[in-house]
Structure 1
Amino acid sequence: MSAPSQTSSTRERQRRQSRERILRAAVRSFARAGFEAASLSRIAADAGVKKALVQYHFTTKDALWREAATRLWTERNARLKQFVANRGPAALARNLRPAFTALVEFTREQPEWLWFMFHEAQVDGPRRHWLIEHCLRDDYVLGQDFVRQCQEQGLIRPAPSLHLLHLITGALTYNLLVAPQTLEATGTDLAGPEAIARQVDLLLEMLAP
């Protein structure tokens, strides 16, 4: 490779790396503080870059927010893809526990996706509408379909699929949101592997027909 080509390749790699750092910092900032409280200056500082570089990669704060949301949901969906794609009777029975466990483990690693959603759920505005249209609507469709198929196979008790979907996702994620305070108050670690396994077992027992 010639010297100019090497220089061009190095610069492109640096651009990708800086963009990735900015996006990761934005995910954390928007999840913790919400859109209004998060600032491009703070995001730039967390990413270790100048604010102008943030604006170079993402022209507006709204554009950066949308990219951050897309990143979170893309990563979550990639983790769950194998369980959603294969839904034959045998696969459903085999994958129900691993699917629940995968969602808990992803949330333990990246709780930002929940905080992201909670911040926007409180405000009737364009960001909530965008999140529904590009992320949450599919969650509802695919989630209810998954519940109904499990019901048809006798894996989950009869009940409205939407209600069950909320009960399932709440049971799988809420413990992690309160895990730090629970650990401090009681000494019990709800985010550990054994606690997660017990949590999934208990949920499956509660859902059984």
Structure 2
Amino acid sequence: MSHALTKEAQSIVATPEPRRRQYRSAGRDEQKRETRARILDCAIVHFSERGFEAGSLRDIAAEAGVTHAVIRLHFGGKEELWRAAIDLMFERQNVELDYAEVLSLEKLTEQSLRDLIHRYVRYCARHPEHVRIMIHESMRDSDRLEWVVGAHIKRTVHPLTRLLARAIEEKIVIDVPMHSLMYILTSASQMIFALGAEGKHLYDLDMGAPDIVEGHAEALCAMLIRA
């Protein structure tokens, strides 16, 4: 049997003890971050399929390839894991949509609204789990629903509402009550992907295919943007 050390092992042996401890600590921290991220990704999908009540920490642990105890160590209970998963879901939405440029425009244009709608539809196509989780939570009122609306949804909707109010005033989009416009925009953008399996059986189409996604965004623009 060869007793030759790998380069990595040689570097650790040659490193003074305080630096070796720092090296090992950094490695453990990175592993913890990767484990936490994997658990959260699995939790988002799991809760989108089962909802909170039917969700199982043990099943999430199995899907993430960790033990139940590891989830308890990182998050505590199911409520804490659910909230952490929701936090991540909305952080991703904010990063991927990045509405700041459109929201800061002094003058709106038809093209800027088209770009915004296309960007949102693409996000919905990539993340059908987002609307599925919200449908589960919105079927009945709860402290969880009140929390997610206050912590996340209002922060997204209020700036978008002001933008759409300007678009109505400048006669770029259809003039309907704001609550109707918001739910027309969000529901029409989301449901075709949330019900993608149904669409496959109904129309024999992959609703997540790029041409379907872009075509759906254009259809939505045709509905909402004035000719």
TM-score calculated relative to the size of structure 2: 0.84
* Aligned residues: CA RMSD: 1.8
The one-letter code of the counterpart of 1:111 is P
Among 184, 187, 206, the alignment partner of 2:223 is 206
Deviation at 1:58, TM superposition (A): 0.4
Identity %: 26
Q: Deviations over 1:96-138 (max 9, x none)?
A: 1221111111111111111111111012211111111112222
Aligned residue pairs, count: 208
Where does residue 59 of structure 1 map in the other structure? 76
Aligned twin of 2:205: 188
Contact 1:151 1:157 in 2 (8 A): yes
Structure 1 residues 46 and 77 mapped into 2: Cα distance closer, same or farther (>3 Å)? same
In structure 1, the residue matched to 2:107 is: 89
Q: Is the 8 A contact 1:176 1:190 kept in 2?
A: yes
Larger radius of gyration: 2
Alignment of 1:1-209 (within 5 A): 2-82=19-99, 83-90=101-108, 92-209=109-226
Q: Could you tell me whether the CA contact under 8 Å between 1:89 and 1:153 is conserved in 2?
A: no
Q: Where do 5+ consecutive residues of structure 2 fail to align?
A: 1-14
What is the CA–CA distance in structure 2 between the aligned matches of 1:182 and 1:109, rounded to whole Å? Answer: 16
Offset of residue 65 of structure 1: 0.6
Scaled by the length of structure 1, what TM-score is found? 0.91
Query: Aligned partners of 2:176, 2:140: CA distance in 1, in Å?
Result: 30
Structure 1: give runs of 5+ residues left out of the alignment.
Answer: none
Q: Is contact 2:124–2:193 with CA below 8 Å preserved after alignment?
A: yes
Counterpart Cα distance in 2 of 1:14 and 1:146: 42
**Distance of 1:96 and 1:208 partners within structure 2:** 8
